[in-house]
Structure 1
Amino acid sequence: MMNSTKYAYFILSPYFDVGLFKYLWFMIIMSLYVVIVGSNVLLIVVICMNRSLHEPMYLFLCSLFVNELFGSTWLFPFLLVQILSDIHTVSAPLCFLQIFFVYIYASIEFTNLAVMSYDRYLAICYPLQYNTLMTQKKTALLIALTWLYPFIAIPVLLSLTASLQLCGNIINKVYCNNYYVVKLACYDTTVNNVYGLTYTTTIICVFILIVYSYLRILRVCFSGSKQTRQKAVSTCTPHLASLLNFSFGCFFEIIQSRFDMKNVPIIVRISLSLYWLTCPPLFNPVLYGLNLTKIRIMCISLVLGSL
């Protein structure tokens, strides 16, 4: 059982006093949040309202945008409160709730990108059989699995962390993170490490699926006709950009967690720790809205029609 009587809260140490500049930071973060919510909601509405977009690729995109709203909603309001606050603490229950949300968001994001790569693999490598291979039932099942698996796996991870006896309550992060809480444990964390390794193995398997899908797509591009190559490039470019964007953010997060970053300026550390939670929700609507013709045309029509 967690030593909640001794550590009823955690201290988030990276925050620093910026004086009146905190109001500038507040406006910047608020503006980013408004843009993220507005752009993702717009694309969700466009996909849901237009039956011509009720195809697997667009439904997977809709799932991605919903997850980005989900991830942003737990992060940005908390950041806004912390920026204006003079005491940067978070209660233990809220801390574990944050851990739950961040891992759910990251898991769904990565799995959703894997499902999208699989969908593009079928569409490009088996175009004649695509409608048979990717049915509406299969699409719904893949979306359901994308969302259900994290909601089963993450609570187990969280319960193992919550049961640890902690010898400190200072987290070197601007939000709560499971790895940093486990580092505060007084005793053996073998069970946590084994479960974490098991969960990481599933993520690696998902990554292998993504790599395999795009290798097959590249093979078809090099051996196929010009029309096939153009189709592959037009549909896969935003997917690859989105995947690389999220992967870079995860890489920065891993580097910060595993290595000593004390010599790196604190503003750089904070920016890198927020990259994977802010950039995908910010840039993905732009990537897909500009590159996918159907979405772009219908977004423009919806915006102009509302004026």
Structure 2
Amino acid sequence: MAVRLNVTYIILDGHVELQRYRYLYFLIMLTAYILIICFNASIVFLIVIHKNLHEPMYIFIAALLINSVLFSTNIYPKLLIDFLSEKQIICYQACLFQVFAYYSLSSSEFLLLAAMAYDRYVSICKPLQYPTIMRKTTVSILLILAWLVPACHVAVAVGLNIKRKLCKFILRGIFCNNSITKLYCFSSVAISLYGVAVVFNIALFPMLFILFTYAKILTIAYRSCGEVRKKATQTCLPHLLVLINYSCLLFYDMAIVRVESGFPKIARLVMILQIVTFNPLCNPIIYGLKMKEISTHLRSLFCQVKVQ
């Protein structure tokens, strides 16, 4: 039975003084999860019920916030259970599924931001062609590709690892991410090269596309009238803030594995918690405060709640 458990289950060894602070951890992360759901759901609700927000830019924002909720739901329920459990373990198959969901949804964020950048480029640089280019069909295709392309890429990577033999069963983390590669008996050059190709295709290339697109937007806005510059600033700044935040968190995720040996356990825990908490909480705040139409409806909603 012990051998079977070692083969089937992985121990999550990234917690710090869990026996002493388990209830504090649970309370903090439960509060964060509730806030993530409430903040993101509020913005999505406003976009759904107000017809003047039924535009491509706001539809992409709603998709991005839904993606944040799905990303958090992949992590938080298991994390909350582990805080209250005597043993922090996960089935290997469930661990692979968590890896799949974690990286496919993370990559979808980059592609959704790339779709937003393209939408802003067409809106500001080609305003007369905007209704023709950004039709409902185009928006639907971009949304489908933003979720489908990363899922297919990551599914292949995870599928290649299903039959690989594990020689270690202790994962230095609180959930399954690319640290799982440290558990295999041998490293595969082919799988590593495919992983690099995946990172380029669904993370680096979209990021470069976003930066190139916004550079073009800012160049054209600088040469245009004040109204165009104001529109570019109001609509592009939130997307850039989200991109910077998420790019930093992606760097954290990659750095954790690279500097695993000798890296303080508490520092690793703090970095991991930032990855799963910071962006899902900040995205709705950034869009709620920086996007004029959303902030107007948000203030009206709060006023109605206070009156009632």
TM over 0.5: yes
Distance between the aligned counterparts of 2:109 and 2:67, measured in 1?
Answer: 7
1:305 aligns with 2:304: yes
Q: How does 1:31-180 map to 2 (within 5 A)?
A: 31-177=31-177, 179-180=178-179
Distance between the aligned counterparts of 2:253 and 2:153, measured in 1?
Answer: 20
1:21 aligns with 2:21: yes
1:218 aligns with 2:214: no
Distance between the aligned counterparts of 1:17 and 1:56, measured in 2?
Answer: 47
- Structure 1 residue 225: deviation in Å? 1.6
Distance between the aligned counterparts of 2:261 and 2:6, measured in 1?
Answer: 29
Question: Quick check: 19-28 or 71-80, which moved more?
Answer: 19-28
- Structure 1 residue 86: deviation in Å? 2.4
Gaps of 5+ in 1: none
Tell me the equivalent position of 2:280.
281
Tell me the equivalent position of 1:249.
249
Tell me the equivalent position of 2:233.
233
8 Å contact from structure 1 (residues 122, 130) kept in 2:
yes
Q: So what's the TM-score if we normalise by structure 2?
A: 0.93
Tell me the equivalent position of 2:194.
195
**What amino acid maps onto 1:268 in structure 2?**
A
CA-atom RMSD in angstroms: 1.8
Aligned length: 303
Distance 1:30 1:120, change over 3 A: same
Deviations for 1:161-215, whole angstroms, at most 9, x for unmatched residues?
11211111111111111x3222222234122112212212213221221111011
8 Å contact from structure 1 (residues 221, 232) kept in 2:
yes
8 Å contact from structure 2 (residues 16, 269) kept in 1:
no
Deviations for 1:57-89, whole angstroms, at most 9, x for unmatched residues?
000001101101101112111111112222121
8 Å contact from structure 2 (residues 64, 112) kept in 1:
yes
SS at match of 2:16: coil
Q: So what's the TM-score if we normalise by structure 1?
A: 0.93
Distance between the aligned counterparts of 2:276 and 2:14, measured in 1?
Answer: 17
Aligned residues with identical type, % of pairs: 32
**What amino acid maps onto 1:176 in structure 2?**
C
8 Å contact from structure 1 (residues 161, 181) kept in 2:
no
